[in-house]
Chains A and B, each alone.
Chain A
Amino acid sequence: MNPSLLRSPWPWFSALALALLGVFVVYPLLYIFTASFFGDGGSGWVQLMHDGRSLAAICNTLVLACVVTLCSTLIGVPLAYVSARFRFRGKLLITLLPLITLVIPEVVTAQTWLMILGNNGVITRFLKGHGIFLPSFYGWFGLITSMSFIYYTYVYIGTVAAIGKFDAQLEEAAQSLGTAPVRSRFHVMLPVIRPAILASALLVFTMVVGNFAISTILGHNVPLLSVAIYQAAVAEGASNLTMQSTLASTSVLIVMGLLFVNRRIIARGRYEIVQGRGAKPQPLKGGQGVVVSAAAGFVVAISLLPLLTIAVGAFTLSRGPVMRWGEWTLDNMARVFITAPGPLVNSILYAGIATLISVAFSTLVSYLVVKKPNLVTPLIDYVSAIPLALSGTVLGVGLLASFNGGFLSLTGTSTIIVLAYVIRRMPFGMRNGQAILHNIPNSIEEASISLGSPPFRTFLRVVLPMMLPAVASAAILTWTTTVSELSASLLVYSGGRETLPIQIFRLIDSGLMAYASAYGLVLVAVILLPVVIATTVFKVDLFGSK
């Protein structure tokens, strides 16, 4: 290597970044993979073939993912189409959808469904009072319903963006060539937005495979992969390293396969739309308008239901698992803030530190990858995307197994929780950082250097200020997602280090819905506060840079 290169700070930063990624991403992954092959009872893969319950869990997970993906697409695509192409009453509410998914943690959503349709749910008890017995919400029915009504938003967001970019002129051109409107829509628009739909469907699929909160709360008698991994990892006294590693590897392989499909098949079919002059939304009137408004309103109402339920539940008196609806109290909130404020403090602390680390790391490293490429930066780029293939549960298992003693013992520390947050968020931070940097021309930096400012100071004085607005919005997104993180932290946390989602999860497990609601409401407030401050006070464009 050229000696003058080593005098600049970048090669050293690259080496450091690669070392960190190697220890905290590659090593745990390899640890799991190797542990799946060697164990007390022989290879985990052989064991797996004879373990009916684990095989069922894998099967169920795939079936569930297919069904939920289908349902989400069936809800999300029509909703996207009507909201992109038409104007009708209540459309504004639909544009709030992205915010809703951002704000309501899955654990809270699952809790809400239980409070409404669970064994002690409002509707269940009401109907029971009238002699009607509902089928249990636990199991397939509950899993599919609740997941579909969360994940359709991802299909919605992806499809709306694609239709928005779709050039109305293309469609007009097809019509002017003599195709009828409906056919032209199918022939011209569908191929153009199909990649976006497929990509978001695939995203939903991977999210279902990795889903832990809903799976474990509503799954009960349906064995599912991430729940099986979790149980193998925390099994009282008999934590089975081989089996948990094998199951975790299975999850990684499934998600990697899907990412591969995405890259190979879908991304290749992505059309470049040269000029995005979106079609003007047409007003919908009369019967059509009412039907569309009602349908869209219904979907949005269900998405909003969790918020309403926990807001009421947080102030409702309870006796153990029984909610005394209509009787109000402040005791639940008092518990969150006064009697047991630990989870609130922990959440803010851990997520705050993780956000700082994550933003600093991804900003610096994406700068290296984009602006200071060398031999190792492509590797850094590649490795930093690996966490995309790790569900929270898998990551938790990996960290737990790798840093339990050995050369770096982190078990039982707060560090391992923060680490889990940072790693889960890294691919998104990197993608965001790279997108921003591609928009900053190299000449800006060279101008600064030519004026006598050394490279690292140039980065701080010139590049960083230009990245700041986008970095701020990335920081907020990181905050919202880490504050509500459950699946990885649930595995690596230790007594006294509960976060809000962990506390809520444990309260739901004990059936204490009123307390859970209070913690849930506070959690939503903690998530929302920076979002509100950023968008109103600092005018940060959150969704533009996602």
Chain B
Amino acid sequence: MGIAISNLSVRYGAETVISGLSLDIPQGCFFTLLGPSGCGKTTLLRTIAGFAPASGGQIRFGGRDVTELPPHKRAIGMVFQDYALFPDKTVADNVAYGLRARGEKGEGVERKVKAALERVGLGHLLSRHPAALSGGQRQRVALARALVIKPTVLLMDEPLSNLDAKLRVQIRETIIELQREANITTVFVTHDQEEALSMSDLIGVMNKGKVEQLGTPQQIYATPRTGYVADFVGAANRTEVAVRSTSAGIVELEVAGSRLLATDALEGPAEHGILVLRPEDLKISSAPAAGLQSLPAIIRGRQYLGARTSYSVECAGGLALNAELHGAGHDAFLPGASVYLGFDPAAARVIRS
């Protein structure tokens, strides 16, 4: 079932946390809410679940209005940041809980529980208590518990944030596999952009209770529509620029005394804009590179990061940019060196300021 949210607002007392939010999540989609701390991700998720009442607007699951439906009747599966396993019940009883709440009994429950736990690789831990599990195992039990009831939507609030980096990658894969298998509409909350980019079909970048941009990971990364999105997803160089002329999707702009060309993402006429340049799209060379527009620059600092090197570079007119080089010789330039900074107009985008 898809989730359709229209004109939703949520208030805590006098404070409006979410206002006028509309969102369509198609059936089977892995949807990620990405945003900084306090932007309202958890609140939106809890409103979808029914734990935080909506003060306006509508939420529909597959066409059915659930706005007034209490949470236990919404047939959701939920995975919590702290897992929220019942500490006094065994792993098997934890997983069986939702089935029993639905009135299922006997062997059928046992079989489903066993299958669900085997699916997450924990078939051997049926009679353990949660206290005797590792963090990753708890996470898997929580997943099995949420999925065994075949919910209509799966809601997850930063389920990986308590795990170490390696385990996180592993469980990411488990989650994706299970989600594809069950073909279940999923809302996943995170503030980790890598997680969002690698897992999602669709990402909603949230800012101050609004969805600032909705799109596939590629769209969000490659064509951010606002400076905020550009900066939050991948560290982009952002610079105020003056727009001189636009034609056929190309902007001629002026920044720090230089005239440059960039892709037009202004969505209409404008005199000013923000130039967005990804560090990895910037090339450094000792002579102007052919086919790229080049700016003379000086290396101000560098960070060697193994597979890549990150440089801070100062161009003519005082414009400071970050560039990241990969591949052979990526660490060749030293601070103080005079270089040329080159980029393709297709990789540089000017957006509305």
Contacts and interface: CB of A to CB of B under 8 A. Distances in A.
Contact of B84 (A2, A443, A457, A465): A443
A288 interface: no
Nearest to A453: B101
Contacts of B111: none
Given A4-B68, A452-B98, A441 B86 contact: no
Contacts of A451: 72, 77, 97-98, 101, 145-146, 149
B28 to A, nearest CB: 20
Interface in B139-172: 145-146, 149, 155
A69 to B, nearest CB: 43
A446 interface: yes
Contacts of A453: 72, 97-98, 101
Given A443-B84, A444-B84, A450 B78 contact: yes
A451 B76 CA distance: 7
Nearest to A441: B82
A452 B73 CA distance: 6
- Interface residue tally on A, bucketed by range: 20 to 34
A7 B70 CA distance: 9
Nearest to B157: A443
A8 B70 CA distance: 9
Contacts of B98: 451-453
Interface in A78-92: none
B49 interface: yes
Given A2-B53, A4-B53, A443-B80, A450 B86 contact: no
Contacts of B85: 447
Nearest to B96: A451
Helix, strand, loop or mixed for chain A's interface?
A: helix
A455 to B, nearest CB: 7
Interface string A412-454: 0000000000000000000000000000010110111111111
B87 A441 contact: no
Given A452-B72, A466-B88, A443 B82 contact: yes
Nearest to A465: B88
A464 B98 CA distance: 18
A462 interface: yes
B124 interface: no
Contact of A446 (B70, B80, B97, B101): B80
Contacts of A8: 70
Contacts of A446: 49, 51, 71, 78, 80, 84
A11 to B, nearest CB: 14
A450 B49 contact: yes
Contact of A452 (B81, B88, B101, B155): B101
A536 B218 CA distance: 64
A446 B45 CA distance: 13
A106 B311 CA distance: 79
Contacts of B76: 450
Contacts of B71: 446, 449-450
B75 interface: yes
Interface of B: 49, 51, 53, 68, 70-73, 75-78, 80-82, 84-88, 97-98, 101-102, 145-146, 149, 155
